[in-house]
């Protein structure tokens, strides 16, 4: 069972070697030019319509729900533990090759799958997280359920930013993202990071340093169905402003956005024809994230009529409005990857049962390129519109009256720029 | 098929229109070589052979740790036969990341050839296992 199962499941997972996104297989066609133009035109038009015609007093702001979140649901903790044992068991005990289902489970099911999961079910990751269960159990053993030290507030989510960067580096810039030993090493380090950190600093560590948990909690604020981990149908633009403003929030969102853009960019013909070194890949990945962050910092601050400290607070106050752009672009970029590559991953994970030996991937989206292109552009434009509305409403609250419109202009242009860049990458790569 | 001018115009137009972020981090990398894929894409084979008339022919040469071509786009139709010919001075495995995938083993100083079809639209990378680079990207259109 340990090896020799090669070939039994070739369900779309690639041979060893350099593979895109860590898992092999085809990628989407570039979207047709016409789709790009239509998408870009809509994004631009709606942006200025919102600025010029929309409401003049904040409508979406309100106090965060005061009732405490419900405790973790034990049955979901069990589900999370079983899935984790399955994924990690396959990764470490399954075949020593790139077809190992644990690799795809990490890249496809966990990293990409957590976004739609959080949109549909809120921050259910908190219930599922096996590391929270481990932390809870060990906390009882040590008699320190909240750990031994209090994570300094000044650190904010920076530990999580580091961990998210470590993940996107693994996926996009490490020399062998699809190599079984590489992924096993990364996962072992990750487990050490969350378990030891959880013992030392308690659940706060998992809130702020577990990359998947943190990412899920961010996206969950955009869920229309769940708020504060309670089922509650609502306008997601009302829950979005409740993303906690902590040091590192802008960096976190910029890392998610910049890395997705880098994923497109690094698959472009000019970059592929160059054989960049690992260092060059790493630096350019970092550059994408830093440029996204600095541009946002600058645009958020570009208003008149505020004091120095008020200006410094603006990027954090507006950061939540970028989340829809991130989510829209993630869907555009990874939808077919999740739905089609994800089938291959599930087949590989089912290998020990033999249930999926004859299964083959249904390429519903890839075989309909026009539908796929429409969806991709649609997600980007929808994310953009939600972002512009969220930023507009927040700006009305936090900007001085006389600068309410002019103070939004730089942010609006930046969002248009992010979106055009996203559409350009979908068009040209 | 003359993708050269249209691809160039589109890319430049859109780049100029809005991709300020990219301009910030190296538009030279991005804009300049856009010409080359299109220019070579429709004619990957230097000498049109009889087989080439039946489908798409891709000739790959691996020598001194470098591969030619590298990173080029090759337009392919769904179901159209693709023939990949490899000549190499070192042992290598060429992976075609289609489903099902195709592997072409080549010996040092040898050559190998494989013909296959791809049934799903998308972009399929053809990669060298030893060099870890994308040799060509097959752009498979319906």
CATH number at B137 reads 2.60.40.420
Q: Residue B2: how many CA atoms within 13 Å on its side-chain side? A: 3
Burial class from Cβ neighbours inside 10 Å (0-12, 13-18, 19+) for residue A4 reads: exposed
Smallest CA–CA distance from A16 into chain B, residue: B129
pLDDT for B36? 39
Query: CB distance from B65 to chain A under 8 Å?
Result: no
Greater confidence (B125 vs A10) lies with B125
Least confident of A356-360, A375-379, B40-44, B54-58: B40-44
Q: Which residues contact B74 (CB under 8 A, 6 or more apart)?
A: B41, B44, B56, B58, B136, B137, B138, B139
Residue B67, min C-alpha distance to chain A (Å): 10
Specify if B69 maps to a domain: yes
Domain count, chain B: 1
- Banded model confidence at residue B56, pLDDT cuts 50, 70, 90: very high
Of A350 and B28, the one with more pLDDT: A350
- Classify residue B110: in a domain, yes or no: yes
Is 70 exceeded by the pLDDT of residue B139?
yes
Assign B114 to helix, strand or coil: strand
**Spatial separation of the C-alpha atoms in residues A79 and A72, rounded to whole Å:** 12
Structure tokens at B78: 């769904």
Which of A20, A344, A421 is closest, CB to CB, to B19?
Answer: A421
Tokens of B50: 């009889």
The pLDDT value recorded for residue A358 is 86
Closest among A99, A30, A143 to A91, alpha carbons compared: A99
Per-residue pLDDT at A174: 92
Nearest chain B residue to A373 by CA distance is B122
Of the candidates B137, B118, B129, B132, the one whose C-alpha atom is nearest the C-alpha of residue B55 is: B118
- Please list every residue in chain B whose beta carbon sits closer than 8 Å to the beta carbon of residue A360: 99
Sign of the C-alpha dihedral computed for residues A7, B86, B113 and B116 taken in this order: positive
> Cα distance from A225 to chain B (closest Cα, Å)?
34
β-pair type (B133-141, B122-128): antiparallel
- Write down the pLDDT at residue A22: 61
Report, in angstroms and rounded to the nearest whole number, the Rg of chain A calculated over CA atoms.
22
Tell me the chain A residues in contact with residue B134 when contact means C-beta distances shorter than 8 Å.
Answer: 18, 272
pLDDT tens, N- to C-terminus, chain A (429 residues): 333 333 333 333 333 334 455 676 789 999 999 999 999 999 999 999 998 888 889 999 998 888 888 999 999 999 999 999 999 999 999 999 988 999 999 999 999 999 999 999 999 999 999 999 999 999 999 999 999 999 999 999 999 999 999 999 999 999 889 899 999 999 999 999 999 999 999 999 999 999 999 999 999 999 999 998 999 999 999 999 999 999 999 999 999 999 999 999 999 999 989 888 999 999 999 999 999 999 999 999 999 999 999 999 999 999 999 999 999 999 999 999 999 999 999 999 998 888 888 888 999 999 999 999 999 999 999 999 999 999 999 999 999 999 988 999 999 999 999 999 999 999 999
SS (H, E, C) A253-307: HHHHHHHHHHHHHHCCHHHHCCCCCHHHHHHHHHHHHHHHHHHHHHHHHCCCCCC
Rounded-to-integer distance, Cα B98 and Cα B138, Å: 10
Cβ contact (<8 Å) for A269 and B33? yes
Name every chain A residue with its beta carbon within 8 A of the beta carbon of B93. 15, 17
Burial of A284 (0-12, 13-18, 19+ CB in 10 A): buried
Q: Using CB atoms and an 8 Å cut-off, which of residues 25-44 of chain B contact chain A?
A: 25-26, 29-30, 32-34, 36-37
Please state, in angstroms and as integers, the Cα–Cα distance from residue A356 to each residue in A102, A343, A366, following that order.
Answer: 16, 10, 21
B116 to chain A, minimum CA–CA distance in Å? 15
Would you state the pLDDT for residue A65? 84
Any chain A CB within 8 A of the CB of B57? no
Exposure b/e, B57-67, CB count within 10 A at least 16 = b:
bbbbebeeeeb
pLDDT at B31 > cutoff 90: no
Q: What is the pLDDT of residue B5?
A: 42
* pLDDT, position A357: 84
Q: What pLDDT, on a 0 to 100 scale, did the predictor assign at position B16? A: 43
Report the run of H or E that residue B39 belongs to, with start and end: helix B35-41
> Is B11 at the interface with chain A, CB within 8 A?
yes
Tokens of A380: 């980007």
pLDDT reading at B33 higher than 60: no
Q: Would you give the DSSP letter of residue A29?
A: P
B103 located within any domain: yes
pTM over 0.95? The answer is no
Cβ within 8 Å of A, B 77-96: 93, 95
Residue B34 belongs to a domain = no
Cβ of residue B60 closer than 8 Å to a chain A Cβ: no
Work out the average pLDDT over B59-80.
94
Taking CA atoms, A231 is separated from A69, A123, A200, in Å, by: 11, 11, 32
- How many residues comprise chain A? 429
Interface predicted TM-score (ipTM): 0.84
Pairing verdict, β B102-106 and A230-231: unpaired
Contact at 8 Å (CB) between B74 and B41? yes
**Strand ranges of the sheet holding B102-106, from the earlier edge strand across to the other edge:** B72-77, B133-141, B122-128, B92-96, B102-106
pLDDT at B1: 39
Q: Do A29 and B134 touch (CB under 8 A)?
A: no
Residue B76: which domain range? 48-141
For an interface test with B, the pick among A24, A32, A285 (most B C-beta atoms closer than 10 Å) comes out as: A24
């Amino acid at each position: 069972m340990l090896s020799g199962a090669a070939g039994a499941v070739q369900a779309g997972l690639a041979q060893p070697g350099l593979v895109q996104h860590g898992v092999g297989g085809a990628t989407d066609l570039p979207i047709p030019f016409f789709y790009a133009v239509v998408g870009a035109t809509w994004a631009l038009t709606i942006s200025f319509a919102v600025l010029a015609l929309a409401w003049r007093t904040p409508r979406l702001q309100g106090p965060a729900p005061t009732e405490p979140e419900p405790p973790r649901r034990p049955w979901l903790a069990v589900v999370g533990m079983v899935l984790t044992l399955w994924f990690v068991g396959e990764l470490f005990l399954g075949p020593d090759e790139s077809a190992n289902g644990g690799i795809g489970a990490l890249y496809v099911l966990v990293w990409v799958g957590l976004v739609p999961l959080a949109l549909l079910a809120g921050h259910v990751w908190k219930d599922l997280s096996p590391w929270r269960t481990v932390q809870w159990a060990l906390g009882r053993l040590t008699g320190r359920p909240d750990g031994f030290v209090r994570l300094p507030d000044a650190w904010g989510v920076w530990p999580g930013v580091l961990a998210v960067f470590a993940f996107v580096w693994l996926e996009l810039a490490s020399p062998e993202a699809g190599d079984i030993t590489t992924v096993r090493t990364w996962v072992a380090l990750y487990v050490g990071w969350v378990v030891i950190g959880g013992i030392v600093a308690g659940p706060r560590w998992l809130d702020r340093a577990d990359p998947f948990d943190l990412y899920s909690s961010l996206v969950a604020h955009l869920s229309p169905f769940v708020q504060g981990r309670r089922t509650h149908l609502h306008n997601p633009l009302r829950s979005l402003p409740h993303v906690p403003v902590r040091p590192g929030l802008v960096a976190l969102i910029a890392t998610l956005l910049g890395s997705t853009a880098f994923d497109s960019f690094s698959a472009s013909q000019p970059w592929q024809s160059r054989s960049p070194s690992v260092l060059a890949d790493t630096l350019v990945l970092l550059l994408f994230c830093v440029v996204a962050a600095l541009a946002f910092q600058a645009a958020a601050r570009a208003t008149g009529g505020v004091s120095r400290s008020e200006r410094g607070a603006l990027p954090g106050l507006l950061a939540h409005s970028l989340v829809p752009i991130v989510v829209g672009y993630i869907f555009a970029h990874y939808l077919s990857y999740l739905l089609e590559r994800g089938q291959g991953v599930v087949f590989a994970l089912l290998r020990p049962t033999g249930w999926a030996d004859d299964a083959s991937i249904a390429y519903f989206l890839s075989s309909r390129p026009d539908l796929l292109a429409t969806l991709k552009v649609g997600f980007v434009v929808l994310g953009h519109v939600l972002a512009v509305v969220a930023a507009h409403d927040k700006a009305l609250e936090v900007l001085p009256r006389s600068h309410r419109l002019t103070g939004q202009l730089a942010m609006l242009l930046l969002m248009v720029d992010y979106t055009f860049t996203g559409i350009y990458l979908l068009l040209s790569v | 098929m003359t993708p050269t001018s249209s691809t160039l115009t589109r890319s430049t137009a859109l780049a100029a229109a809005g991709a300020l972020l990219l301009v910030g981090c190296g538009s030279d990398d991005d804009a300049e070589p856009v010409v080359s894929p299109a220019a070579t894409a429709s004619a990957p084979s230097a000498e049109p052979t009889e087989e080439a008339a039946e489908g798409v022919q891709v000739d790959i040469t691996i020598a001194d740790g470098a591969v030619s071509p590298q990173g080029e786009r090759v337009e392919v139709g769904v179901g159209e036969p693709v023939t990949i010919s490899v000549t190499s001075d070192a042992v290598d495995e060429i992976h075609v990341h289609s489903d099902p995938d195709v592997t072409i083993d080549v010996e040092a100083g040898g050559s190998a050839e494989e013909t296959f079809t791809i049934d799903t639209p998308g972009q399929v990378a053809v990669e060298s296992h030893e060099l870890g680079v994308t040799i060509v990207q097959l752009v498979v259109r319906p």
